[in-house]
Amino acid sequence: MREITIDQTKKIIFDYVSKLAKQHKLDPKKDVFNVVLPLENNQAISCYIGPNEDGERAVDYAVYGQNYIMPKLKNTVLDLFDDK
């Protein structure tokens, strides 16, 4: 199995975000979003772009050694404005 470094995964994520920006799916300088790159052995790296605890725009990476991705719920979206 091929091993890559965390820096290499960050480049893969950067390239993916650039591709999404070119497709006008997001604005990496303004939007708040998260990108997850799943790997073998249930590993994943997550990249959050948005405000940090101080309200400043930041890029934050998290590496997970045991990650399980459930199947997508079809025809379902999250009510992001639910006040309950």
Position 50 in a domain:
yes
Q: What pLDDT score does 60 carry?
A: 96
57: which residues sit within 8 A by CB, 6+ positions away?
49, 50, 51
Establish if 82 belongs to a structural domain.
no
What secondary structure letter does DSSP report for 64?
E
Note the pLDDT of residue 83: 62
Q: Per residue in 49-82, is it b (16+ CB within 10 Å) or e — as a string?
A: beeeeeeeeeeeeeeeeeeeeeeeeeeeeeeeee
The answer to whether residue 77 is domain-embedded is no
* Residue 71, beta-bridge partner list: none
**Number of structural domains in the chain:** 1
Q: Is residue 36 part of a domain?
A: yes
Would the pTM of this model clear 0.85, i.e. be above it? no
Calpha distance 77→61 (Å, rounded) = 25
- Does any domain span residue 71? no
Those residues of the chain that have pLDDT short of 50 are none
Domain range for residue 56?
Answer: 6-64
